[in-house]
Amino acid sequence: METRMGVGELGAAGTKDFVDSFGRRITYVRLSVTDRCDLRCRYCMAERMQFLPKREILTLEEMASLADILIARGVRKIRLTGGEPLVRKGVMELVRALGQRLGSGLDQLVLTTNGTRLERFADELSDAGIRRINVSLDSRRPERFGHITRGGDLNQVLRGIDAALTAGLAVKINMVALAGVNEDEIEEMLRWCAAMAIDLTLIETMPLGEVEEDRTDHYLPLDLVKRRLEKCFTLVPSTKRTGGPARYFEVTELQSCLGLITPLTNNFCEGCNRIRIAATGTVFGCLGHDQKVELRDALRSGGPQEVNGLLDRLLAGKPRRHDFRIGGAPAVARHMSVTGG
């Protein structure tokens, strides 16, 4: 990854505050490096997905250059996502390049993964400067995991988690809570995470993209889950913040931490500090809206000034909140994998 636009070079073009029309400062970017994934989770993807051709995807060098523009505007945290980011050929070149920005404007470089390739990449991720990862894991029962992911190998993911912990990475488990699917093992997952000294975050299913199953059938409100857990545990509201939408609770009996992401039962948009960038260079102001700007052509022919102008336009129109509702058509047609979950 030799090609790089220096942060100092971009400073003059990127000095305007990165603040939306509601006064929310954008310091966090979720950057999807690919729309592809080696799993097909039922709530996230259709079984037969049409993935983007390579020519429409930003190169790794273009992603690094875009990161420099964002850092110059005040972005302090970048999360690499997918699809599954570790299936992108050469992705470690990008991780290492962004790792070099840590301490030079960038405070955090983190990763969300399904864990299937962690066994291979954990040491390299740590060496590149990543300190925290999120692993999506919705069940620890092999047959159920295979059903949810349409054929995934649970043991492969568990080996990956072990490798990440051995490499010194802090691991957080993201579990989508699904009625009639995995709600009977939420307490079990919480206990396992506590025993492993890793945190658990529960997530309500989000209506993004057409999938074969009716999400209404599996929607599980997390206020109900919280009440169930409180029959077994003392949940104390925590001041912990990670820059994302989760509310955290200390689980007294387990000496662990539980996060809840509740886009439907407790809208979290008021404090939104992030934008999402698809692998094509399309930037979305909100996960639940199609408000967007296209940066690919500007990156390839226009330079930082044109990119910053488009980012200004995005922030001026960034919605106040999402419009997620369970039942009926999805809030937006694009699948979660397009904008990085």
DSSP one-letter string for 78-121: EEEESS-GGGSTTHHHHHHHHHTTBTTTB-EEEEEE-STTHHHH
Residues 90-104 have pLDDT tens digits of: 999 999 999 999 999
User: How far apart (Å, rounded) are the C-alpha atoms in residues 226 and 329?
Assistant: 28
Least reliable range by pLDDT among 60-69, 173-182, 328-337: 328-337
Enter the tokens of residue 120: 């291979």
Report which of 341, 338, 244 is spatially closest to residue 292, judged by C-alpha positions.
338
Asked if the model's pLDDT at residue 197 lies above 50, the reply is yes
In degrees rounded to 5, what are phi and psi of residue 159? Answer: -65, -35
> Angle 173-220-262 (CA atoms, 0-180°, nearest 5)?
60
User: How far apart (Å, rounded) are the C-alpha atoms in residues 81 and 76?
Assistant: 16
User: How far apart (Å, rounded) are the C-alpha atoms in residues 41 and 280?
Assistant: 22
Enter the tokens of residue 22: 């509601």
User: How far apart (Å, rounded) are the C-alpha atoms in residues 37 and 229?
Assistant: 32
Report which of 207, 212, 146 is spatially closest to residue 181, judged by C-alpha positions.
146
Whether the link from the prior residue into 83 is cis, omega within 30° of 0, is yes
Q: How confident is the model at residue 122 (pLDDT cuts 50, 70, 90)?
A: very high
Q: How confident is the model at residue 243 (pLDDT cuts 50, 70, 90)?
A: low
Residues 6+ away with beta carbon under 8 Å from 85: 32, 33, 34, 91, 111, 112, 113
Asked if the model's pLDDT at residue 322 lies above 90, the reply is no
pLDDT at residue 205, rounded to an integer:
84
Q: From the CA atom positions of the chain, what is the Rg in Å?
A: 19
Q: How confident is the model at residue 340 (pLDDT cuts 50, 70, 90)?
A: low
Q: Give the position of tokens 């009716």.
A: 214
Beta bridge pairs of residue 102:
106
Sign of the C-alpha dihedral, residues 138, 142, 148, 149? positive
Q: How confident is the model at residue 45 (pLDDT cuts 50, 70, 90)?
A: confident
Which of the 8 DSSP states describes residue 35?
Answer: S
Neighbour-count burial of 49, counting CB atoms closer than 10 A to its CB (0-12 exposed, 13-18 middle, 19+ buried): middle
Return mean pLDDT, the chain. Answer: 87
Q: Give the position of tokens 């993911």.
A: 157
Report which of 205, 212, 156, 155 is spatially closest to residue 177, judged by C-alpha positions.
205
Residues 264-296 have pLDDT tens digits of: 555 556 668 889 999 999 999 887 667 899 999
pLDDT at residue 330, rounded to an integer:
47
pLDDT at residue 217, rounded to an integer:
77
Least reliable range by pLDDT among 47-61, 182-196, 241-255, 321-335: 321-335
pLDDT at residue 7, rounded to an integer:
36
User: How far apart (Å, rounded) are the C-alpha atoms in residues 130 and 108?
Assistant: 8
| Alpha helices, H only, 150-274 | 154-166, 186-195, 215-218, 222-229
Q: How confident is the model at residue 246 (pLDDT cuts 50, 70, 90)?
A: confident
> Angle 318-323-324 (CA atoms, 0-180°, nearest 5)?
130
Helices 91-99 and 60-72 sit at what angle, rounded to 10 degrees? 20
